[in-house]
Amino acid sequence: MLTQSQKGMNLLKKMTKEEYSKMTEKASPPSPILKNCLMAFLVGGAICTFGQFLVNWFQSSGLDLKEARAAESTTLIALTAIFTALKIYDNLAKHAGAGTLVPITGFANSMVSPAMEFKPEGYVMGIGAKMFVISGPVLVYGICSSVVYGIIIYLFGWY
């Protein structure tokens, strides 16, 4: 007796390329590109505008610009982590798409999401081990590219 996956493989072997193309088009219809771009622009812009509001607010509270920017970054990271844990950020991302990938909020979301997903596996093997699953490559390639950039700057005397 054939398993479900073996039946699926037999079906795919009998299928022509045209039939397969029709099946994939039906399964994944084209995205509304204009709507997606507009939502990404509006939500990403709203996040950035809120960030600027925080900088201005922290400055009016007596912090200098450098301290206000640090406080704004910390606040955005904390809010994103909290909203991700409460599943608010993920619901926003469903509608906003790439607009929620504004670097600092997207990075915070990429840290918290896997941690929340693997929480049942425990603090060490779940949260601790899986926290950097998505953001780890970002850190690795970001750090490596900054080292290469620094070497180039040093070698050409552009510092």
Residues lower than pLDDT 50 in the chain = none
Query: What is the pLDDT, as a whole number, of residue 47?
Result: 93
Any domain includes 15: no
Query: What is the pLDDT, as a whole number, of residue 73?
Result: 94
Query: What is the pLDDT, as a whole number, of residue 52?
Result: 97
Any domain includes 19: no
Any domain includes 90: yes
- Whole-number Å distance between alpha carbons of 63 and 66: 8
- What six digits make up the tokens of 48? 């950035």
Does the reported pTM lie above 0.75?
no
DSSP label of 30: P
Query: What is the pLDDT, as a whole number, of residue 5?
Result: 61
- Whole-number Å distance between alpha carbons of 99 and 31: 16
Any domain includes 26: no
Query: What is the pLDDT, as a whole number, of residue 6?
Result: 59
- Whole-number Å distance between alpha carbons of 78 and 61: 19
For residue 77, give its domain range. 34-155
pLDDT digits over 80-105, tens only? 999 998 989 988 888 888 888 887 88
- What six digits make up the tokens of 136? 């780890």
Question: Which candidate, 159, 156, 104, 109, places its Cα nearest to that of 134?
Answer: 109
Total structural domains in the chain?
1
- Give the C-alpha distances (Å, rounded to integers) separating 91 from 28, 60, 86, 96, 100: 21, 33, 10, 9, 11
Any domain includes 62: yes
